Amino acid sequence: MTTMRLQPVGLPETEVTRLEVFLRFVGKTTRGQWVLVRDGAAELLICAATARRLIPSHSMSEVAVLPEPGEPQNVLARDIALPPVLDLEALQALLMTVESRMAVADALPATAPVSPLPAAPSGPALEGRFRLIRWPGADLLRSHPKAVRLLGLLARESLDMDRLQTLSGLDRAACAEIVQQLLRRDLLAWHGCPAASGAPVKRPASRGAPEAAGAGERTTASGELHLGLLTRLRRKLGLS
């Protein structure tokens, strides 16, 4: 069984004890066993907001920040913001979030540098390829109605900006804005090495984003038939 380490940073002893107790109940997951460590390497750091600056920016650990009333949040984009009171359910949700991030990282090609950090793509060019790791909430969908089609594409395949623009039918500025929004919300994985044109892209195994059918199974004609049906359904329902 895999052992995963959780390390408190700058938390009062009462919070650390609470974490230890909670881990007895929710520390065992399908991926492995979470244990609390006081020092050394750890997959997850739970830190007080005031202690966030103690964690180096190059740390590979996931960071969850426990806010303190009246204190600045000091939460970075990649950080996981915790509720003020870390109860059993919140801790369980946190562990699952971290595990899902680890699963995504494990599934991506080891040779390609992967970072969900918003800072990774530099400048307006947004180099590299992007892939959705979690769907955004309704707020983004409502503020960007055209984002839904783009999200459907990114959920299935890692795409660079050129291909995303072509397939979605959106202009580059709209694509870039939506991608930036997703990056800010930590919803995209970023592949730094652009794939050769037409090269197959390995994707994390997910029921929502299964491997594409092989060439022999591709049904372009029936696909177009179905697309026609979906277009008529959209029109009937008044969808864009």
Report if residue 35 touches another protein, rule: CB under 8 A: no
Q: Angle 40-41-47 (CA atoms, 0-180°, nearest 5)?
A: 85
Report if residue 89 touches another protein, rule: CB under 8 A: yes
- Look up residue 83 and give its two tokens: 């509720």
Report if residue 132 touches another protein, rule: CB under 8 A: yes
Number of residues in contact with another protein under rule CB under 8 A: 52
State the nearest-atom distance from the C-beta of 221 to another protein, in Å.
9
Exactly one of 20, 50, 78, 100 binds another protein (CB under 8 A); that residue is 100
- DSSP, res 50: G
Closest-CA residue to 187 (of 240, 143, 236, 147): 147
Report if residue 152 touches another protein, rule: CB under 8 A: yes
Contact by Cβ (8 Å): 44, 62: yes
State the nearest-atom distance from the C-beta of 205 to another protein, in Å.
6
Report if residue 96 touches another protein, rule: CB under 8 A: yes
Contact by Cβ (8 Å): 164, 146: no
Segment interacting with another protein (CB under 8 A) among 10-18, 34-42, 46-54, 130-138: 130-138
Indicate the pairing of strand 2-9 with strand 32-36: parallel
Contact by Cβ (8 Å): 102, 151: no
Q: How far apart are CA 4 and CA 29, in angstroms?
A: 10
- Look up residue 200 and give its two tokens: 């197959």
Tokens 């929710």, residue? 26
Report if residue 105 touches another protein, rule: CB under 8 A: no
Segment interacting with another protein (CB under 8 A) among 1-9, 17-25, 116-124, 151-159: 151-159
Tokens 């090269």, residue? 199
Segment interacting with another protein (CB under 8 A) among 7-15, 43-51, 115-123, 210-218: 210-218
Neighbours of 191 (CB within 10 A): 23
Report if residue 197 touches another protein, rule: CB under 8 A: no
Segment interacting with another protein (CB under 8 A) among 41-49, 69-77, 116-124, 133-141: 133-141
Contact set with another protein (CB under 8 A): 30, 89, 93, 96-97, 99-100, 103, 132-135, 137-138, 141-142, 148-149, 151-153, 155-157, 166-167, 205-210, 212-213, 217-220, 222-224, 226-227, 229-230, 232-234, 236-239
